[in-house]
A and B are shown apart, each in its own frame.
Chain A
């Protein structure tokens, strides 16, 4: 169906695509794998007509595509579903589909379009109500709106960029089912993902890119995770990190009855209480947007709670400033690396100093000590293996993995007592993910208390001692890692199951000990 030959594209000195050949036969699901910066996105942007290739040919259904625009690609039968949906939240499903409508006419045929949405929805199991407001749908349902848009536009080749990153496990299996039905109807799918298990489950063939070139391709049948990982990174990945058995010590982080509302007054965090002990990783699982980010912001002091208290090593820090919390040993890796954790237009050295410019070594008297800041940056960059031109390079010029290393270097470099890590591996390739997990486990070894928020159950099982699930702003269940059952966790993440957990589990005690009360000494 699709033949791309010798696709080449350079951005300045970076050769993003180097003579890539890429084929998609009719009725197949192709997994496109590769580390960050390996050229997947560039290749798909070229196919979809968002950027022109420097060299190479594209033939799609016996027609040559050259100098085409996304509109031309859609007309030819190619649709792309981006990680961030292109939907108007204030409009209904039908209206969103009509926005993408390509037979021009004078009048809008609301009922006809709604009828076709219903038909397609029934045919592929999309479970969509044409008159629903898109903004009121879950992320999974919004993604299915994108799919119905593509189908009604007559797409025969569907490109999905990291489609499962914001879905709960049950939503993921619904999506995979839909894609299989599309394939059975003769459509082809390009499935871009970091998640090897999903690729193994869904795809027929897999193509792996490395450094802008094809590193290999093979049928998925008979392949293992290790095979795919090896193709991606070009070397054997060492076996999974060993977690030592470690008895948790005293309580370092305690939150009690935290609650917060957003600007519109809707509750985002509701009555959350738990504690994390010395040498323990407490993971919070949950689909994006169920209050985990707000919870972490509250603990870190970036947002004030409406109710509840936060204690670090017994000190009440609920009203403490960010600087005071840093001094108390609290580190925070926020979810949004691009605009919160880092500032692209500042240098690496400035980014490393960002949270404590007001304290030594960055400050000397009235002035910034730029020499000290730079020296510290060099040390941290070496320690965390940040690859960059130097400490004066702008953060925006770094790859995603290196950007996250800068954030880790800043937050973990000062040997924190309590670490809040929110989605620290999001968008990272397996090598970089492993690096993050190793650092987190090393902190656990060193006796830190870690609050680890993630949407990936695999990852949570690799690091956590206890696992809480958040849904709708509340903790709907807490289990010990050894009692974790993936199906039950998945159902809890989807809001279909709730378990009342004992206070002993919330505070990480063996059941024989009495649960503590948050009657800690207040220090102000």
Chain B
């Protein structure tokens, strides 16, 4: 048995042992890797295996052992998104040429394989189906469902075709005669069915409705559609439907819980504001506010001259080190790991990954580098002055610095900065020499004790940052471990 899955790989599965082996089809244009969806059809006469590479508009042909033979390109066959394949009893390869709205057949035995034998359009003359449920808006014009995505030939030689709309959200099953004449549309009950697969049985076509988790049987003659399968099969499907409903309920519950916690967060913000207003710093702790504590960066120079402030600026060594490491990692590290089994190389097809990763990374690092040159900390010997990347200068007393939530542990004292990750960006010697004497000493012996002390005082930002850091690092390690060793 051969099956394909959404990751573009083909497996040979032994039904007895329930074991599958990857049938790597080597030698093709794209080696054995297909990106995106593929479809497979097997021609029993010669044992050919046809693989439709849908996004690339190609049909690859392999022999029964999985060795690549040749490729029909979209240029030769004029195919645009061949979403399904079917082999007829006479050996014709029939393809749903989706974006050309047609069903087209090729003679696989012919030397002139790329020339169509016959074709018919699936542009429906039937009235479009009216939407029901939330889509039943008055004046809503349903899109024509003329994009064929699946097909199967019934035992009476009619062609059953699943036609989607342009967005492939709504689907019809339409029956065409062997000559390509439109006969009828199959009426499927239930809200917005999504027929996704067809298979002929002796008297009826079996239709899989993915959205409603049902398998239907539509007779070749007549309109009466029934659920396919005996009680055991229907019971198995019913179990799946219940599980599906449970997942939906869980999602709704998660949304409700989210709403509750958002409400709690709003209440907390209110309580905190109220708490701040009722617990203002006493007059002896509070420095008289500077007449305009928020000043633009242009005032920094005048402040330096008038208030004799000594400013300290972060250095960007760490940022530039990150630049260097990422560059080395992406352009030297990854190709070094190249091997056939691990496939770590950035393939030519996947260059957009490089562009999509490296360019934003560099832009963010450049931005961080820029804002770090715009930020700083300073002191006039009595107060601590901060200016942020937007150019605002803030003057606060050491007590206010300690009171504020966003704090930084630096050796023996606590300093307010943007985050703990800015620590290496400042000269610790200068900070210790000029800023630290203004702040109250931290008597805790190590960083954990200090953090616990801060935690008890209500400084949660550090804990949260460290928690997130631990989670992300753990995830990275787990992914790498699972990827290479599991």
Q: Check if A and B associate.
A: no
